[in-house]
Structure 1
């Protein structure tokens, strides 16, 4: 990947796209420094595996699917330009220097509109709160140039090491009375270069602070980027710049960093910037390193077709102790007198609470004294206090069984998806075997790898369909959803079985055609399910059960 390239379009977007504001065709290429992402190149090779050649013109007419979102990948340099553009805009409005505007924007968490409003109302108060020197008084036009010289000189004194003082100087921190260099911000509080370097290193590296104030305990003046870059090491300066960039991206709803460790790309997805939009779309994006994640909740996987709010509910249900409590309710009972939890460890229904010595029947929860000589069975029917306990027990057990029904299938597809990745190595060997036993070229045997790719993607889709089905309210819409789910599941299992089957050297052409057909069918079934689900969100067709009923009100 070229370092000069700052912008990358997502693999599902075309070179030309429609601008929502003016409805005219806009060229999606960012000058000459834009290049296609690896994902785009990989998908082109997948098309070749089926013997399909798509021209550039044809690719430009590909319509984005209803379950996809437009997004853009930004490099570090592109993020820098966005920050500088914001600073230049503010600087132009108030006649400030860009470095000062940057400090003000960070102070306001990059909320430009709020900064403009506050600064116009009381600029002195804003500058004071932000740790910036008060603006110099307005000078006559004739002397404006000399005022600029004075400000430049003052800035130079804060960045350049000061000259050896004519009077004795001792660093207030380390008490060195002969420091080789001293530095001071515009406030004039001077410290030796060693103390400044140590202070900046601690703030940036150890504390992760991008806002650094003067070392004087009574001074609130901020150090600008130029001062930090001049004084500290290159590594610390780079780290400080990363912290500033992360602060900018973190305070914007339109940008997000790729959550995968070590990846520095930033994704822009304006269509998923508002919380309300996340009720109707699942903004799955991919960086140039092929890292797939959700722009809405930053989950490091594709959780389509389930929207972010419900996927969070499901993951929390799977991870916290709620199901442990459910197990306790299903496998234990409470003493009818002191409500202590009791687990049955024998066949006798005569229970004696160790805490309060209360005796009751495990089956009907009634007092044991009323059972007469029926020591090991309980065939009594009566409407008493034990009925409520039995009803609660039955509901809890049914709730647990329902949860496990969906969770086991969710976990099974997750495990199958991971095992599908192991198929890659097996498929590589099969592809080599097919080349040696037939006249097929390397490109012509790529159909097997394409099949594995589709199996993995569809396993992930099926995994999240079970989480969605758990929260869907009963009705015709849920039945149609489960029909699509069943069709996709059957198609995926057929293709998986074909991938696992041994290769007959005399039957490779038939195998190729059969596997290609099944792969295309699986791809279409997956698209049908995702498209119908996405359209259902837009139409408001999906209704949620009691576990996610709050979402019905939000819609």
Structure 2
């Protein structure tokens, strides 16, 4: 179990004085009540230097951007909109490359894209026959202009649809390739391609024919739902081929995020592109490893996750929720986010992470985040080196998995914290707004545990150097601050101590946020300066 404790000093004296100056110096960071002034947690929405610039786009915004690309091609080359859209899709919406090659050889580009070269002139309808006057299509196809045109098979002999074998279809349709089918078969074919197979590039039904079915043909000869689905697929095709655009991965969300700072692979060597859509869904623009794996780069995060998957049996052993008391060997289960453990049997207080006495964490430097590699230096034979390598991995994985587990346990604090907030509101004169400090503390703990979790993945791959020492110093300071705040969150609520609890929790929340910002800022600056060195070759 996790119990509260009376820490002699929250920080070293110099740090405490500095912290008080930082907290109380901001004119906007104070709120008044009868006990004194308490700092307000700064606005989280204010951009930080380690944040990447991004913009959330609605479906209408993306469609407008896509239309502008089509209109440009139409205005430059005088093509029909259908032809321009099909050309851009064929070139993966690379307008510059398509423009360059079209100017060199228009016919070659059109044939490559599956478009009839003669089908780009205006006002030439799709061939169709029916007992009723045919519907006019908005797509431009030219009728045969030869002096002796080939007779229409429908007028010269009895027509039988090659698909359904109907010899009396109500109407027939053919593209510029003159491969004719009945209108019912065309409708079923378009619905199957679009709604069942999810295709936005549909070709003629004739085997071996590469001619594309124009967008206007799909609109005219399919249902409204089929065409709506087709437009959605075209939009997805556009977003998937534009480097600075990505759909929000949250279920049901239709927003798209634009992030030019992470549009190239080389950009991911210096930034960790954590972005959010307009609905507040956060995700990494560069990979799908985690919603926010700052401060570690995408490629390093992928290496770490792959290693953890490869060592799955070891990971399963490490992820156990129980450990033995180092004094009486009783089995202890961790039921809270705090790492300060107290054995119910012998009352021994120890650290869940390093299993050392908790007294060392209060009076000495918090150092259980750092791996002691003296044994690795002294190892000589292959067996010893293999054992040391495994111990080193377990050191970092244990702490990585511990913060992941603690974050899950801390998430349960939301419910507990709301009950505490209601209790504080009933037993004091504080309003509901004034008791929000507890909720903000929980949010900051969760945010910082996510940061700490990934710092251990980064530390595992960092080469031993002075820079790594400084990195682990920042890591240690953040971890110590998070554990202090986490333990404070789990402390019992007593009416007479609520004013003091409010002051301490608010101050520690601000301090934890500052330590987190220092950690992320220093790491991001190191990526920009190229001062991080790795013990593996990054892909």
C-alpha displacement of 1:264: 1.7
Gaps of 5+ in 1: 1-45, 138-146, 328-388
C-alpha displacement of 1:90: 1.5
The Cα offsets for residues 122-178 of structure 1, whole Å up to 9 and x where unpaired, read as 1111111111111369xxxxxxxxx74446999964579xxxx77754322112233
CA 1:457–1:181: 2 relative to 1, 3 Å: farther
C-alpha displacement of 1:457: 0.5
Q: Distance in 2 between matches of 1:84 and 1:482?
A: 50
Q: Distance in 2 between matches of 1:150 and 1:207?
A: 30
Instruction: Determine the structure 1 residue equivalent to 2:85.
Output: 102
Q: Distance in 2 between matches of 1:452 and 1:296?
A: 28
Residue correspondences, number: 423
Is residue 265 from structure 1 mapped to residue 255 from structure 2 by the alignment?
yes
TM-score, normalising length: structure 1? 0.71
**Contact 2:126/2:176 (CA < 8 Å) preserved in 1?**
no
Instruction: Determine the structure 1 residue equivalent to 2:469.
Output: 479
Q: Distance in 2 between matches of 1:152 and 1:197?
A: 15
Equivalent in 302, 308, 317 of residue 318 of structure 1: 308
**Contact 1:159/1:184 (CA < 8 Å) preserved in 2?**
no
Instruction: Determine the structure 2 residue equivalent to 1:119.
Output: 102
Q: Distance in 2 between matches of 1:109 and 1:224?
A: 17
C-alpha displacement of 1:437: 1.5
**Farther-moved stretch of structure 1 (197-206 vs 302-311):** 197-206
Instruction: Determine the structure 2 residue equivalent to 1:144.
Output: none
**Contact 1:259/1:300 (CA < 8 Å) preserved in 2?**
no
**Contact 2:127/2:175 (CA < 8 Å) preserved in 1?**
no
**Contact 2:177/2:211 (CA < 8 Å) preserved in 1?**
yes
**Farther-moved stretch of structure 1 (459-468 vs 149-158):** 149-158
**Contact 1:417/1:459 (CA < 8 Å) preserved in 2?**
yes
C-alpha displacement of 1:392: 1.7
**Contact 1:255/1:267 (CA < 8 Å) preserved in 2?**
yes
CA 1:236–1:542: 2 relative to 1, 3 Å: same
Q: Distance in 1 between matches of 2:465 and 2:458?
A: 14
Q: Distance in 1 between matches of 2:67 and 2:48?
A: 35
Instruction: Determine the structure 1 residue equivalent to 2:17.
Output: none
Q: Distance in 2 between matches of 1:47 and 1:107?
A: 59
**Contact 2:114/2:211 (CA < 8 Å) preserved in 1?**
yes
Equivalent in 62, 66, 82 of residue 49 of structure 2: 66
Equivalent in 520, 527, 540 of residue 530 of structure 2: 540
CA 1:300–1:80: 2 relative to 1, 3 Å: farther
Instruction: Determine the structure 2 residue equivalent to 1:229.
Output: 219
CA 1:439–1:184: 2 relative to 1, 3 Å: farther
**Contact 1:293/1:299 (CA < 8 Å) preserved in 2?**
no
Instruction: Determine the structure 2 residue equivalent to 1:241.
Output: 231
Instruction: Determine the structure 2 residue equivalent to 1:549.
Output: 537
Is residue 194 from structure 1 mapped to residue 184 from structure 2 by the alignment?
yes
Is residue 438 from structure 1 mapped to residue 421 from structure 2 by the alignment?
no
The Cα offsets for residues 457-505 of structure 1, whole Å up to 9 and x where unpaired, read as 1000000000000011111111111011011111111111111111112
Instruction: Determine the structure 1 residue equivalent to 2:116.
Output: 133
Instruction: Determine the structure 2 residue equivalent to 1:492.
Output: 482
CA 1:198–1:48: 2 relative to 1, 3 Å: farther
C-alpha displacement of 1:284: 0.5
1:325-474 maps to which residues of 2 (within 5 A)?
A: 391-474=381-464
**Contact 2:200/2:233 (CA < 8 Å) preserved in 1?**
yes
Q: Distance in 2 between matches of 1:396 and 1:53?
A: 47
Three-state SS of the structure 2 residue aligned to 1:285 is strand
C-alpha displacement of 1:508: 1.7
C-alpha displacement of 1:293: 1.0
* Larger helix proportion of the pair: 1
**Contact 2:421/2:438 (CA < 8 Å) preserved in 1?**
yes
Equivalent in 273, 280, 287 of residue 290 of structure 1: 280
Is residue 304 from structure 1 mapped to residue 294 from structure 2 by the alignment?
yes
**Contact 1:157/1:186 (CA < 8 Å) preserved in 2?**
no
**Farther-moved stretch of structure 1 (175-184 vs 211-220):** 175-184
Is residue 177 from structure 1 mapped to residue 167 from structure 2 by the alignment?
yes
CA 1:218–1:48: 2 relative to 1, 3 Å: farther
Is residue 212 from structure 1 mapped to residue 212 from structure 2 by the alignment?
no
Q: Distance in 2 between matches of 1:158 and 1:449?
A: 61
C-alpha displacement of 1:223: 1.5
Q: Distance in 1 between matches of 2:70 and 2:103?
A: 16
The Cα offsets for residues 42-86 of structure 1, whole Å up to 9 and x where unpaired, read as xxxx999988699xxxx9xx9732210110011111111111111
Three-state SS of the structure 2 residue aligned to 1:64 is coil
**Contact 2:289/2:302 (CA < 8 Å) preserved in 1?**
no
C-alpha displacement of 1:450: 0.8
TM-score, normalising length: structure 2? 0.73
CA 1:227–1:150: 2 relative to 1, 3 Å: closer
Is residue 530 from structure 1 mapped to residue 513 from structure 2 by the alignment?
no
RMSD over equivalenced CA pairs, Å: 3.0
Equivalent in 56, 59, 66 of residue 83 of structure 1: 66
**Farther-moved stretch of structure 1 (228-237 vs 300-309):** 228-237
Gaps of 5+ in 2: 1-28, 33-37, 129-133, 140-153, 318-378
Runs of 4 or more above 4 Å deviation: 46-54, 151-160, 165-168, 321-325
Three-state SS of the structure 2 residue aligned to 1:135 is helix
CA 1:427–1:178: 2 relative to 1, 3 Å: farther
The Cα offsets for residues 13-37 of structure 1, whole Å up to 9 and x where unpaired, read as xxxxxxxxxxxxxxxxxxxxxxxxx
**Contact 2:126/2:173 (CA < 8 Å) preserved in 1?**
no
